[in-house]
A and B are shown apart, each in its own frame.
Chain A
Amino acid sequence: MASVAIGDVYKSFGAAQILHGVSIDIDDGEFVTLVGPSGCGKSTLLRMIAGLEKISRGHISIGSRIVNDVAPKERDVAMVFQNYALYPHMTVAENMAFSLMLKGVPKAESDAGVKQAAEILGLVPLLSRYPRQLSGGQRQRVAMGRAIVRNPQVFLFDEPLSNLDAKLRVQMRAEIKELHQRLKTTTVYVTHDQIEAMTMADKIVVMHDGLVEQIGPPLELYDRPNNLFVASFIGSPAMNLLKGAFANDGPPSFRGAGGISVPLRKPPSIGNGEAMVLGVRPEHLRLADDGIPVKVAVIEPTGSEVQIIGRTAGGEDIVANFRERHSFAPGETIRLSVDPGPIHLFHGETGKRIETAR
């Protein structure tokens, strides 16, 4: 096991620059997810850690060794690919033993390693099958088994669950997390699914357009997003973002389109009339007679909660979650008020978080 340090890394393919200076420190034994929309450079970064892509500038070290010029096979990392990349002509056991065979590990020792990994993953009855004869979830497990057998310094996962159906994804998510808790191997996990990132990681790295937007534990990102991108990316349903301005002529408040006015407990550190975005999570809205009028558009009951998608007088969409089973009709106008506590304010132009005291 080892820590991984990514120091000011750049990557370009010809004229196209993919990464614009990324720095991430990953502690020994940590589970870190790289999350971001497609094309943000997260997979490229992972492949650079593996050594499958060259580093254009900056450095990556595994343990205390800078690996920029170290061949992939010398880096002692194991990777689980999105399409599993199982060798179709080898049985499950052969797939798992392949790296040991290349290393010249004696047969008995390699068999024992494969057996041990197969027991951890529940693959023992499948050892003599070929990948074609396995379901998606089983293939995924074999891919993980192939990584475990090697007992590497770092596990790399490249969107490993995106080819599975929703139910299996939730199950494998828990399995991977449990596996990590058991093996405590440093893990870098790439996903575009923020729920996966939130549920599995010790630390999330949110990436966007080749830059790191924010690094932190899941709940910190949820509670204190650094900027509008993180605010809108983390959380499902996404945070409501209302455009408006700060009003200081009277009690400090947020003024939005369509006559929305939300009082602020403490004034933010920007001037009167400056553009500002108010962020409020769907679960922090509640019904109140003096609230913002919202016309109900869609009602989505999920059983545990009811999700209301509505429209403000200013034409902005707003989503609210209720644990109570309200029964509204589409077209009905309801009034929603914002808890003054857990609101988020962002600068209208830079999108940066504006610190305000609670």
Chain B
Amino acid sequence: MTVPSVAVQSRPSILSRLAESRNALGFGFMLPAAALLLVFLTYPLGLGVWLGFTDTRIGRPGIFIGVENYEYLWSDSVFWLSVFNTLLYTVSASILKFVLGLWLALILNEKLPFKSFFRAIVLLPWVVPTVLSAIAFWWIYDSQFSILSWALQQMGLIDHRINFLGDPTNARASVIAANVWRGIPFVAITLLAGLQTIPQSLYEAATLDGASRWQLFRYVTLPLLTPIIAITMTFSVLFTFTDFQLIYVLTRGGPVNATHLMATLSFQRGIAGGQLGEGAAIAVAMIPFLLAAILFSYFGLQRRRWQQGGGD
């Protein structure tokens, strides 16, 4: 007698079903990255926010004091000065970086001799550690030995040395200039990469259509570059807004807090001054500004209609 063999299909075990599931697999692959983010981003951020609601000092655990830190900052003129400084610093440095960076990118995109050499050179300010270049600028801006003052004096343009870092206006301009010097390569190289994605034939077509050089830039280069500009400038603004090293080396926020940014003030109050809670509160106060910048770029970065493919 033969028994018809029936393939017995037992219910697969939970484990083997998990192994089959694409979602479980995806979750598994995500875990290491998620763990890193949790430990090194979410936890410090959460701790910072929490500290902002306490009166913690270095070496002494604090207690929850609600929004007392923020109430204090609200009436603190130095804090508001640092907010103003940060905005001034970010806005003027970003505009300069954008204009000069775009200009540099356009030059580097032309047919130049030693093109790759110049492209490598342009990256230098970006490659050098910030602290090192800040120290170099410190010497350039030195009240006694400034090479700028010396050169201008030799040329007969000025008759006494410029007090770069001692005068509030000069100091602000000086740190902005240093930041621009350092930030241009990032903008220029990213925009250059964007420029190179624009097909040459578009320029040829536009030339035959009768476009002048300015019209080529206005109607071909600029619109096709906007997506890259949006992403580059978002990053540039975020970097600039949170800048710390340059200021800390050059002026430490002086003279008379004229160059104190929110980041440097937060460090000074929190670490140097020992008031961890207050320092954290200043840092947390940066979040709304950063969020605004990100939201702005989120809408700016949305794919433009012409970038969308297929269909109606």
Contact = CB atoms under 8 A, between A and B. Distances in A.
Contacts of B306: 88-90, 130-132
B220 A132 contact: no
A72 interface: yes
Interface stretch (A95-103, A165-173, A325-333, A348-356): A95-103
A229 interface: no
B204 interface: yes
Given A73-B211, A99-B209, A103-B210, A81 B307 contact: no
A72 B201 contact: no
Interface string A71-114: 01100011101010101111000000011001100000000000
A102 B215 contact: yes
B210 A73 contact: yes
Given A73-B209, A73-B211, A102-B210, A85 B204 contact: yes
Contact of A87 (B210, B220, B309, B310): B220
Max chain A Cβ within 10 angstroms of own Cβ: one of B211, B304, B308, B312: B211
Contact of B209 (A83, A102, A129): A102
Max chain A Cβ within 10 angstroms of own Cβ: one of B208, B219, B223, B309: B208
Contacts of A50: 204, 208
A72 B309 CA distance: 32
B199 A83 contact: yes
A52 interface: yes
A312 B132 CA distance: 80
A128 to B, nearest CB: 10
Nearest to A71: B207
A130 B209 contact: no
B215 A87 contact: no
A50 B208 CA distance: 8
Interface string A135-174: 0000000000010001000000000000000000000000
A78 B205 CA distance: 8
A155 to B, nearest CB: 11
B305 interface: yes
Given A88-B306, A102-B211, A133 B311 contact: yes
Interface size, A (range)? 20 to 34
Max chain B Cβ within 10 angstroms of own Cβ: one of A89, A131, A150: A89
A209 B115 CA distance: 32
Contacts of B219: 87, 98
A85 B202 contact: yes
B210 to A, nearest CB: 4
Interface string B184-222: 000000000000000101101111111100010001100
A133 B202 contact: no
B224 interface: yes
B207 A89 contact: no
A99 B310 contact: no
A102 B205 CA distance: 13
A50 B311 CA distance: 35
A78 B207 CA distance: 10
Nearest to B198: A88
B312 A133 contact: yes
A303 to B, nearest CB: 36
Contact of B204 (A81, A87, A102): A81
A89 B304 contact: yes
A133 B208 contact: no
Nearest to B215: A102
A132 B307 CA distance: 7
A338 B310 CA distance: 55
Contact of A52 (B204, B209, B220, B224): B204
A132 B310 contact: yes
Contacts of A132: 306-310
A73 B304 CA distance: 30
Given A81-B201, A132-B307, A89 B208 contact: no
Nearest to A147: B208
A46 to B, nearest CB: 12
Contacts of B206: 87, 98
30 contacts: A52-B204, A52-B208, A73-B207, A73-B211, A79-B204, A79-B205, A81-B205, A85-B199, A85-B202, A85-B204, A87-B202, A87-B205, A87-B219, A87-B220, A88-B224, A88-B306, A88-B307, A89-B223, A89-B306, A90-B306, A98-B209, A102-B215, A130-B306, A131-B306, A132-B308, A132-B309, A132-B310, A133-B312, A146-B205, A150-B209
Given A52-B204, A102-B210, 14 more contacts: A72-B208, A78-B208, A79-B205, A85-B202, A85-B205, A87-B206, A89-B224, A89-B304, A99-B210, A130-B305, A132-B308, A133-B312, A146-B205, A150-B209
Interface of A: 50-52, 72-73, 77-79, 81, 83, 85, 87-90, 98-99, 102-103, 129-133, 146, 150
6 A-B pairs with the lowest CB-CB distances in the bound complex, closest first:
A99-B209, A85-B201, A85-B205, A73-B210, A130-B306, A89-B223
